[in-house]
Structure 1
Amino acid sequence: MSNNNHNNNNNKSNDNNDSNSSRSILTSIQNTMNNNNNTVQEIKPDDPDPVAGFAAGVARFLAKKGIAGTLSGIVEETAIYPIDLVKTRVQVHPNPNVGFMSMMKEVYKAEGFKGMFRGLSSPLVASAMVSAIQFSTFEKSNQELEEHRLFKDSPETLRYFVAGGSAGILQSFIICPVDVIKSRMQISGHGHSGSTVDMAKSIYRANGLKGFYTGFSATLLRDVPGLGIYFSTYESLKHVFNVHGHHDLSGGGFIKVLLAGGLAGSVYNASTHCFDIAKTLIQTQTTEPKYKGTFDCLNQVVQKQGVKGLFKGFVPTVIRAIPSHGIALFVYELTQAI
């Protein structure tokens, strides 16, 4: 009898264990299913995609900077184009003593007011594109460098210089073909009746696509350090003048922006003038190339014209940079405030 009771107790114990095990397994399965349901809820398609959100934010940022840069480029190019045309003709003139004003009078007498804007259409469109890329690239590069604290132990000026240089690299690829067409249109004079498209076709027939990148190394040498200097000077002067972009344009703030932009532009043009001369001389070669490269060009200029040959058109170039870049940066800051 006792053995039977003992066996019955063992059977009940086993049943209880089995029941507990079953409940444990069911509980485990239920927990797993709940976890899976939570996971499914977490990745449901209605939730915002963080990658898409980031991309949209970047797109909005670049669009705003790009629009501001586009308007800035159009205003600047239109305002200074006649001066730029005369500057180009002074730079390519064989006489190192030719004056800026005498060349301007010569152009106006021979070609009239219309001649002062010869070849404007191509650089006008390109300037809008280039300015959009220039400003948006600088702003985004500067933002990324600041967020990742890559220059946390260095002066802010260095960060601005690197961000500006990044914009200069990208700009060079776009501006070089435009400069080739523009420079050749500018020196063609009233004897050339063709359009910008005709000039582009002529360059392509003669040299193919590489013809549009004549003088590319000189363009890089001008624009990479040049834009680094340009933006670092502008941002530094804004700090000196206690101006924080488009937020401080009221009152006397706009005058400070004009002044900071003008001074930054003049420093940029002054520091890269010799490379601009080399670029122009190389790009306006229409016969057999005389120059092996940028520094060979500069060397030949010094041999034939002396050191002063490197500074042809220097004064008007630096002077015209003050209003042109001042207006350009003011329009850029103003557009962002709208």
Structure 2
Amino acid sequence: MLFKRKNVIIDEQVHYHHQTHSIYRNPHSIRSRWSIMKSQDFLENRCVISILTVLRVLTIIPYKCIVTVLRTIVELGNFSSLTHSTGKEHYSCEYGSIKYYIYCGIAGMLSCGITHTALVPIDLIKCRLQVKPQKYVNLINGFKLTIAEEGFFGLTKGWAPTLIGYSLQGLGKFGFYEVFKNFYGGVLGEENAYIYRTTLYLLSSASAELFADIALAPWEATKVRIQTQDNWASSLRQGLPKLYAEERLWGFYKGIVPLWLRQIPYTMMKFACFERTIEALYKYVIPKSREQCTKSEQLGVTFIAGYIAGIFCAIVSHPADTIVSKLNNEKGLSLFDAVRRVGFAGLWKGLGPRIFMIGTLTALQWFIYDTVKVIFALPRPPPPQPPLSLQKKYGLTGDKEPLICDLSVKT
């Protein structure tokens, strides 16, 4: 019996040494085991469990889906903290890889979901200004009336469809933008991709938004009904099945065309203006190159460029935004009827609140998106520089090449 016990102990020791040797032979094993333990501890925390339970009750997101997303985020954060502790620049994936696109999609999901949900009170008043201009005169008046009639809780109407819809939209918008930018750039070739880079940004963002809005449309239609129709529904659980019962699948997608007309120009301006503003800031405003800036300084430049892009986004997309609100508010209304009823002046109703909302929202989206990429240790390419072939061909020197006019070259 004692002999058997000794054999068991020896076997356990050999197994332990074998595990230790394999772990030290592959340092990634320590990292993965540590990440799994940390993510498991995080998900078993009582506070986290309570938050997940509330989300499960208030929304229709599957519980396992929420847990999976949170576990992925925690593990990525653990990887980033480990790799940066060495003091060297390490990346969690290669630029242009499948993992890179997935992580960019997750970053976009967080940036859009968080910012749009945070600005639900302003969005609610903006929608009511567009749909009921006789009752709601301006932004301040809208807030006063809403609080007087529904209390402060009334300002949060539509938060659940906003969170889900714009999270899905952000996933598609930012993820597919990176995919299409890389794909179209490869089709154009290195030189043409640089010369026509503004066109590349516009085409890539338009393609991405086309698909992202298909995921957004049902939630946007439900949100607008909840926010603008009195006594229609007070929550997503009531509104989603009610809209389907009233108008079937058509009710979710009858506003898809004006939604495209609103979101595609908005996204094209958002990405193209941001990319070129970043390029201009580092070229003419920031006294040092991007590589010499700290991460905090880079994120500050990202926020400024995002706000500038957001102002232009609001102006370009506002008329279509008014039509989307009108269509989703009234049952059976066609696109041409909505335009005729609103009129040209009505198309610009609520532009002031929208500029403030979209400017802030776009700046925060880019800031969060870039921050998440830093946390996840994703590659963040610097502003584009002319390829060597162009520099030799036209005698360009990088910092003196033409910025605004893509096709102008030195002769």
TM-score after normalising by structure 2: 0.62
The answer for the alignment partner of 2:272 in structure 1 is 232
The answer for the alignment partner of 2:111 in structure 1 is 72
Gaps of 5+ in 2: 1-94, 376-411
Correspondence for 1:81 among 120, 123, 129: 120
Q: Tell me if structure 2 keeps the 8 A contact 1:248–1:254.
A: no
Q: Shift of the alpha carbon at 1:148?
A: 2.2
Q: Which amino acid aligns with 1:332?
A: Y
Inter-partner Cα distance in structure 2 for 1:204 and 1:220? 21
1:1-338 alignment runs, 5 A limit: 58-95=97-134, 98-149=137-188, 151-152=192-193, 154-189=195-230, 191-192=231-232, 194-242=234-282, 250-286=295-331, 289-291=332-334, 293=335, 295-302=336-343, 307-338=344-375
Inter-partner Cα distance in structure 1 for 2:253 and 2:351? 25
CA 1:174 to 1:248, structure 2 compared with 1: closer, same or farther past 3 Å? farther
Inter-partner Cα distance in structure 2 for 1:153 and 1:336? 24
Inter-partner Cα distance in structure 1 for 2:122 and 2:280? 30
The answer for the alignment partner of 1:37 in structure 2 is none
Q: Tell me if structure 2 keeps the 8 A contact 1:246–1:336.
A: no
1:241 alignment partner, SS class: helix
The answer for the alignment partner of 1:47 in structure 2 is none
Bigger radius of gyration, 1 or 2?
1
Q: Per-residue displacement from partner, 1:55-78 (whole Å, max 9, x unpaired)?
A: x97420222101211211232122
2:157 alignment partner, SS class: coil
Figure out how many residues of one structure are paired with residues of the other and give that number.
Answer: 276
Inter-partner Cα distance in structure 2 for 1:201 and 1:71? 26
Identity in percent? 24
Inter-partner Cα distance in structure 1 for 2:363 and 2:96? 29
Q: Which amino acid aligns with 2:183?
A: E
1:311 alignment partner, SS class: coil
Gaps of 5+ in 1: 1-55
CA 1:333 to 1:245, structure 2 compared with 1: closer, same or farther past 3 Å? farther
Q: Which amino acid aligns with 1:336?
A: K
Q: Shift of the alpha carbon at 1:154?
A: 4.5
Q: Tell me if structure 2 keeps the 8 A contact 1:245–1:333.
A: no
CA 1:171 to 1:235, structure 2 compared with 1: closer, same or farther past 3 Å? same
- Which moves more between the two structures, 319-328 or 93-102? 93-102
CA 1:157 to 1:327, structure 2 compared with 1: closer, same or farther past 3 Å? same
The answer for the alignment partner of 1:23 in structure 2 is none
Inter-partner Cα distance in structure 1 for 2:234 and 2:318? 30
Q: Which amino acid aligns with 2:157?
A: R
1:267 alignment partner, SS class: helix
1:238 alignment partner, SS class: helix
Q: Shift of the alpha carbon at 1:167?
A: 1.2
Q: Which has the higher contact order (CA 8 A, sep 6+)?
A: 1
2:158 alignment partner, SS class: coil
Q: Which amino acid aligns with 1:241?
A: L
Q: Which amino acid aligns with 1:149?
A: L
